[in-house]
């Protein structure tokens, strides 16, 4: 089977083809980062227009790379939420039109489920259909989902039954990076920009709070960290801030990463997890990856984080969920498949 995946939930126009064994045949991502850099963030109308211009050329290039024609496809998997409604609509309506025109069934996919299962694509030592399910010996496992719109801690005790342990009460971790970067005069997207600026900085320069870390729950709150950064910047001259930019960025990055790993470790201990997964755009953060590695070593658990290209938005992860659903014949009706900008994961 060959599954075409389509992803347009935010600011990446992406298409990919994977097989029913999760082998990647083609992977194309057209990023809108340069467009959104000017406005320091995504303007939905601008994103939707760019998706409209790019979606067909991206799908065309993807099928050419995969050396496949429409008749070779067994399903089209498309992100139906959560995300920006105008961006989601471009991908979904394109998928529905192609499904109708090509006579290929369509499957609506939850973007967050895509991020979670992005970890299945590159499993070492596993081949073919072994990759399609999570091995029992890894359970229970804790999943930290960290992206521009989401920060969630999930628990998987039994395959297919995700439990929500906690989530952010306000801003997501990626949002904190993006807003923090804007305040520091750094470009969009903020995560890589703060990380780069922080590389030579001292993380103990500013004592930023670790929001909710001491609370006996799995929730996060990053809005307060933003306020702490505003206060820190107010207290110093522009010259002072410029001189200490790398130190402030390093302290801010460490506060976010400490909070994320601290909560993940609490969950690992409470549920005696055997494995930690970190997925989503913020999982590309090198400091987070390093701290998670030492945590895994200390707590004697294994750690699984996708390679950089599969942390940020891509269509391979959407096609991968599509492959699993197609193997279970879980197709959607073209007439009723609709976007849902607030789509929730199905929890137990």
From CA 319, how far away is CA 316, in angstroms rounded?
5
178 binds, among ligand KG4, Zn ion, none (CB under 5 to 8 A by kind): ligand KG4
Which 3 state secondary structure label does DSSP give 206? coil
Query: Which helix (H) or strand (E) covers residue 84, if one does?
Result: none
CA distance 23 to 2: 9
3-state secondary structure of 284: helix
CB of 311 vs Zn ion, minimal distance in Å: 9
Residue 12 found at the interface with Zn ion (CB under 5 A): no
Which of the choices ligand KG4, Zn ion, none does residue 91 contact, using the CB cut-off of 5 to 8 A by kind?
none
Q: Which of 58, 62, 250, 282 binds ligand KG4 (CB under 6 A)?
A: 282
Show the binding pattern over residues 9-48: x = contacts ligand KG4 (CB under 6 A), - = does not.
-x--------------------------------------
Q: How far apart are CA 143 and CA 174, in angstroms?
A: 16
Distance (Å, whole) CA 109 – CA 25: 19
Binding of residue 154 to ligand KG4 (CB under 6 A): no
State yes or no: residue 280 binds ligand KG4 (CB under 6 A).
Answer: yes
Buried b (16+ CB within 10 A) or exposed e, 186-213: bebbbbbbbbebbeebebebbebebbbe
Count of C-beta atoms within a 10 Å radius of residue 18: 28
- Answer with the entry of Zn ion, ligand KG4, none that 190 interacts with (C-beta below 5 to 8 A by kind): ligand KG4
Q: Does position 91 bind ligand KG4 by CB under 6 A? A: no
285 binds ligand KG4 (CB under 6 A): yes
Residue 230: Cβ within 10 Å count:
13
- If one counts every other C-beta atom within 10 angstroms of the C-beta of residue 344, the result is 11
Q: Which two tokens stand for residue 48?
A: 């939707």
Tell which positions 162-221 bind ligand KG4, by CB under 6 A.
174, 177-178, 189-192, 195
Residue 124: its H or E element: none
**Would you say 347 and 164 are in contact if contact means Cβ atoms under 8 Å apart?**
yes
97 prior amide bond cis, ω within 30? no
Closer by beta carbon to Zn ion, 111 or else 131: 111
The C-alpha angle 218, 114, 90, rounded to 5 degrees, equals: 120
- 145 near ligand KG4, judged by CB under 6 A: no
Stretch touching Zn ion by CB under 5 A, among 21-29, 147-155, 173-181, 323-331: 147-155
Q: Which does 174 bind (CB under 5 to 8 A by kind): ligand KG4, Zn ion, none?
A: ligand KG4
Residue 119 found at the interface with Zn ion (CB under 5 A):
no
Length of the chain: 348
Query: Which of 313, 317, 324, 331 touches Zn ion by CB under 5 A?
Result: 313
Q: Which residue has the tokens 């879980």?
A: 330
Question: Which residues in the 311-330 window bind ligand KG4 by CB under 6 A?
Answer: 312-313
CB of 336 to ligand KG4, least distance (A): 25
Binding site for Zn ion (CB under 5 A): 147, 313
Q: Which residues bind ligand KG4 (CB under 6 A)?
A: 10, 147-149, 174, 177-178, 189-192, 195, 280-282, 284-285, 312-313
């Amino acid at each position: 089977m060959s599954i075409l995946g389509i992803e347009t939930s935010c600011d990446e126009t992406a298409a990919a083809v994977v097989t029913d064994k999760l082998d990647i045949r083609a992977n194309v991502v057209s990023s809108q980062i340069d467009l959104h850099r000017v406005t320091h963030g995504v303007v939905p109308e601008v994103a939707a227009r760019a998706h409209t211009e790019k979606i067909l050329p991206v799908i065309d290039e993807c099928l050419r790379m995969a050396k496949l024609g429409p008749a070779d496809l067994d399903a089209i998997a498309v992100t139906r939420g959560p995300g920006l409604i105008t961006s989601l609509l471009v991908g979904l309506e394109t998928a529905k039109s192609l499904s109708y025109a090509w006579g290929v069934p369509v499957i609506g996919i939850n973007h967050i489920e895509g991020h979670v299962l992005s970890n299945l694509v590159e499993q070492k030592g596993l081949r073919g259909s072994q990759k399609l399910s999570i091995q029992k010996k890894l359970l229970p496992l804790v999943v930290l989902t960290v992206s521009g719109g989401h920060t969630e801690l999930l628990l998987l005790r039994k395959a297919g039954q995700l439990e929500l342990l906690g989530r952010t009460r306000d801003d997501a971790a990626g949002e904190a990076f993006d807003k923090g970067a804007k305040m520091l005069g750094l470009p969009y997207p903020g995560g890589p920009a703060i990380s780069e600026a922080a590389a030579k900085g001292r993380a103990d320069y500013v004592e930023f709070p670790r929001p909710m870390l001491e609370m006996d729950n799995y929730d996060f709150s990053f809005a307060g960290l933003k306020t702490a950064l505003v206060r820190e910047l107010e207290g110093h001259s522009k010259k002072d801030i410029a001189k200490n930019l790398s130190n402030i960025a390093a302290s801010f990055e460490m506060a976010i990463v400490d909070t994320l790993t601290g909560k993940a470790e609490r969950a690992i201990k409470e549920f005696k997890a055997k494995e930690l997964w970190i997925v989503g755009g913020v999982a590309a953060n090198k400091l987070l990856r390093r701290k998670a590695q030492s945590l895994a070593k200390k707590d004697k658990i294994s750690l699984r984080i996708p390679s950089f290209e599969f942390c940020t938005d891509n269509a391979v992860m959407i096609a991968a969920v599509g492959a699993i659903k197609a193997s279970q014949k879980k197709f959607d009706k073209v007439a009723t498949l609709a976007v849902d900008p607030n789509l929730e994961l199905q929890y137990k």
